[in-house]
Amino acid sequence: MYEGAIQDLVDELGRLPGIGPKSAQRLTFHLLAQEEDEVQSLINALQAVKRLVKTCEVCGNVTETEVCSICSDPRRDQGVICVVEAAQDIQALERTRVFRGRYHVLGGAIDPLSGIGPDQLRIRQLYSRLSDSGITEVILATNPTIEGEATATYIARLLAPLEVTVSRLASGLPVGGDLEYADEVTLGRALEGRRQV
Amino acid sequence: MYEGAIQDLVDELGRLPGIGPKSAQRLTFHLLAQEEDEVQSLINALQAVKRLVKTCEVCGNVTETEVCSICSDPRRDQGVICVVEAAQDIQALERTRVFRGRYHVLGGAIDPLSGIGPDQLRIRQLYSRLSDSGITEVILATNPTIEGEATATYIARLLAPLEVTVSRLASGLPVGGDLEYADEVTLGRALEGRRQV
What is the DSSP secondary-structure string of B123-182? HHHHHHHHHTS---EEEE---SSHHHHHHHHHHHHHHTTSSSEEEEPPPSPPTT--GGGS
Residue B111 lies in a domain: yes
Q: Are residues A160 and A85 part of one domain?
A: yes
DSSP E strands in A32-120: the ranges are 54-55, 62-63, 80-84, 102-105
Residues A156-172: pLDDT tens digits? 999 999 989 999 998 88
Question: Do residues A97 and A151 share a domain?
Answer: yes
- Reading across the β-sheet that carries A102-105, which strands appear in turn? A102-105, A80-84, A137-140, A165-168
Q: How far apart are CA A5 and CA A1, in angstroms?
A: 12
Name the least confident of A1-10, A56-65, B152-161.
A1-10
Any A CB within 8 A of B47 CB? yes
Measured in angstroms, the CA of B24 and the nearest CA of chain A are apart by: 10
Give me the CATH number covering residue B17.
1.10.8.420
Residue A133 is predicted with a pLDDT of: 72
Residue B53 neighbours by CB under 8 Å, 6+ apart: A4, A5, A6, A32, B62, B63, B64
Query: Could you tell me if A91 lies within 8 Å of chain B, comparing CB atoms?
Result: yes
pLDDT for B135 equals 92
Q: Is pLDDT above 80 for A1?
A: no
B62 lies within 8 A of chain A by CB: yes
- pLDDT over 90 at A177, yes or no: no
Q: Are the beta carbons of A25 and B88 separated by less than 8 Å? A: yes
Instruction: Give the integer Cα–Cα distance in Å for B161 and B123.
Output: 15
A66 lies in some domain: no
pLDDT, position B118: 94
B146 touches chain A (CB under 8 A): no
Determine contact: A69 vs chain B, CB below 8 A.
yes
Do B82 and B161 have their domain in common? Answer: yes
Amino acid in the structure at residue A9: L
| Mean pLDDT of all residues belonging to chain A | 92
Contacts of residue B97, Cβ cutoff 8 Å, sequence gap at least 6: none
Across the interface, whether the CB atoms of B4 and A41 are under 8 A apart is answered: no
Across the range A15-26, mean pLDDT stands at 93
Name the residue facing B46 among A18, A39, A88 (closest C-beta): A39
Same domain? For A98 and A44 the reply is no
ipTM of the complex model = 0.83
Please tell me if residue A162 touches chain B, with a CB cutoff of 8 Å. Answer: no
Q: pLDDT band at A196, cuts 50/70/90?
A: confident
Planar angle of CA A115, A116, A122, nearest 5 degrees: 155
A65 touches chain B (CB under 8 A): no
Strands (E), B38-142: 54-55, 62-63, 80-84, 102-105, 137-140
Residues B18, A9: C-beta atoms closer than 8 Å: no
Contacts of B16 in chain A (CB under 8 A): 27, 30-31
Q: What's the CA gap between A53 and A141, in Å, rounded?
A: 24
* Domain assignment present for B88: yes
Residue contact A91–B30, C-beta within 8 A: no
Residue among A8, A18, A51 minimizing CB distance to B48: A8
Q: Which residue of chain A has the CA closest to B69?
A: A3
Percent of chain A at pLDDT > 90 equals 76
Q: Are residues B44 and B83 in the same domain?
A: no
Q: Are residues B80 and B39 in the same domain?
A: no
> Is there a domain that residue B101 lies in?
yes
Tell whether A92 lies on the interface with B, counting CB pairs under 8 A: no
Picking from A5, A19, A86, the nearest residue to B49 by CB comes out as A5
Region A179-192 average pLDDT: 87
What is the rounded distance in angstroms from the CA atom of residue B66 to the CA atom of residue B58?
A: 9
Structural domain total, chain B: 2
Alpha carbon of A108: minimum distance to chain B alpha carbons (Å): 12
Question: C-alpha distances in angstroms, B96 versus B91, B93, B99, B161?
Answer: 9, 5, 7, 31
Q: Which of A60, A66, A45, A85 is nearest to B6 (CA)?
A: A45
H or E element in which residue B47 lies: helix B36-52
Query: What CATH number does the domain containing B140 carry?
Result: 3.40.1360.10
Q: Domain of residue B120: give its range.
A: 76-168
Let me know: does B103 contact B72? Beta carbons within 8 Å: no
- Do B94 and B33 belong to one domain? no
Q: Is residue A176, in this structure, part of any structural domain at all?
A: no
B36-77: pLDDT as tens digits: 999 999 999 999 999 999 999 999 999 999 999 999 999 999
Q: Is the pLDDT assigned to residue B86 strictly greater than 90?
A: yes
The answer to whether A17 contacts chain B (CB < 8 Å) is yes
Q: Based on the domain organization, do A102 and A36 belong to the same domain?
A: no
